[in-house]
Structure 1
């Protein structure tokens, strides 16, 4: 979106806010001005609504088909901070991204949370592979490490409460997605353990991840308006 269009939308939003004034004449004048600006610049109600939302992104771990555990993490974080998340595939020199869409500071907070938890999970995964899976074949290492991550995320999920957003914010997010991503497709799940009957050893991998995930930490204040607290239990 160009800066000039952003400025116009800001003016319209300000006029619409003034249209709620208790002063009847002032409210009518503000509403007329808002409608005049919208008609002049080809802006509709959905454009105005979508302007209330924004997005921030975090680098994804795969260019086209992220592993299931990373998808789960992105969804849990999005729910925790009142956002919708979409995956944007990478190409050439442009890395794939997880895009968190929400209102206010929520996208920034969600992106930060995803980045921190993603780093912690990857670090714990690498340590688990080094300690427990050194003698396994590469495919087995990857598959069992995914189970470890599954357990890790289960532990973290137990500490996160989904943020309930109001109907206006939800509508703004939906409008933003509809305007900016009209051709979204379902993301294919890359589950390396799909359809398997897990052995006791593999179940223990999940348990090891759960134990490790209980030590996850996430503490930060954003703009003095939002606090993230996720301490070890």
Structure 2
């Protein structure tokens, strides 16, 4: 923990005490928080944003992730009350992009963990589908149809998972973190190899096979004493 983190932590504790029913204690805590903020040049946005954090998971592409992978990241983040972003891979040695999961408490850690588990599962299922069903296809057809399988898999795996509705204060924390840490966000461009193609019966079969396979790995949210915990069937 850096010196600034320690100061922010102290300010957050003072802010929490400022809600005390004891008027004198509350006023003293608020004065101390404001004094610390002025002394160290810390804004209200800095304090609000400091309550959020992030973790990253490697993506399958450097700059344009597959559409099905983007949907998996977004759905997993939403289930745990997080925000997902895609960071292009130019800044890292292996040039692979990264999925960024942003949230409060332990939520972003759980979201990242669940995404990685599901991503491994869908990739294994994809490889098996290619081996058993698509092995004689041309490379471009094989990739396109394997993507359809993954679309079906993801749709099934997250079909029963509901997005976690965040309390207003937590949503403000996420908004502050995003504004402070990622002020220049742009909409990502995903790769879809089936957008301009009319779906054939064979294509629908690939999607259906993926949908059946994904049913074995449904993403659910379990809630325990310490907040959300992952529940991955078929993990």
Tell me if both proteins adopt one fold, taking TM over 0.5 as the criterion: yes
Equivalent pair of 2:79/2:161 in contact (CA under 8 Å): yes
- Please list every run of at least 4 consecutive aligned residues from structure 1 whose deviation after the TM superposition is greater than 3 angstroms: 217-224
Secondary structure of the residue aligned to 1:98 is strand
User: What is the match of residue 75 of structure 1?
Assistant: 74
What secondary structure sits across from 1:215 in the alignment? helix
Q: Secondary structure at the match of 1:214?
A: helix
Return the alpha-carbon distance in structure 2 between the equivalents of residues 114 and 73 of structure 1. Answer: 7
Corresponding residue number in structure 2 for 1:35: 34
Query: Does the Cα contact within 8 Å between 2:80 and 2:110 map onto a contact in 1?
Result: yes
SS of 2:89's equivalent in the other structure is coil
Q: How does 1:193-232 map to 2 (within 5 A)?
A: 193-216=194-217, 225=226, 226-231=228-233
The aligned counterpart of 2:17 is: 18
Paired residues for 1:134-145 under 5 Å: 134-145=135-146
CA deviation profile, 1:141-199 (whole Å, cap 9, x unmatched): 00000000010011112231211111111110110011011111110021110121100
How many correspondences in the alignment? 231
Change (3 A) 1:97 1:67: same
Take 1:221 and 1:150, find their aligned partners in 2: how far apart are those partners? 25
TM norm structure 2: 0.93
Aligned ranges for residues 1-233 of structure 1 at < 5 Å? 3-91=2-90, 92-94=92-94, 95-216=96-217, 225=226, 226-231=228-233
Whole-angstrom distance in 1 between the partners of 2:139 and 2:85: 30
Summarize the Cα distance change of 1:170–1:220 in structure 2 as closer, same or farther, 3 Å threshold: closer
Partners in 2 of 1:24 and 1:146 — Cα distance? 61
How many angstroms apart in 2 are the aligned matches of 1:196 and 1:21?
Answer: 62
Superposition deviation, residue 230 in structure 1:
3.4
Give the distance between the partners of 2:200 and 2:45, measured in 1 at CA.
52
CA contact (8 A) 1:219 1:227 kept: no
Distance 2:170 2:26 in 1: 23
Q: Which consecutive residues of structure 2, in runs of 5 or more, have no partner in the other structure?
A: none
RMSD over aligned Cα, in angstroms? 1.9
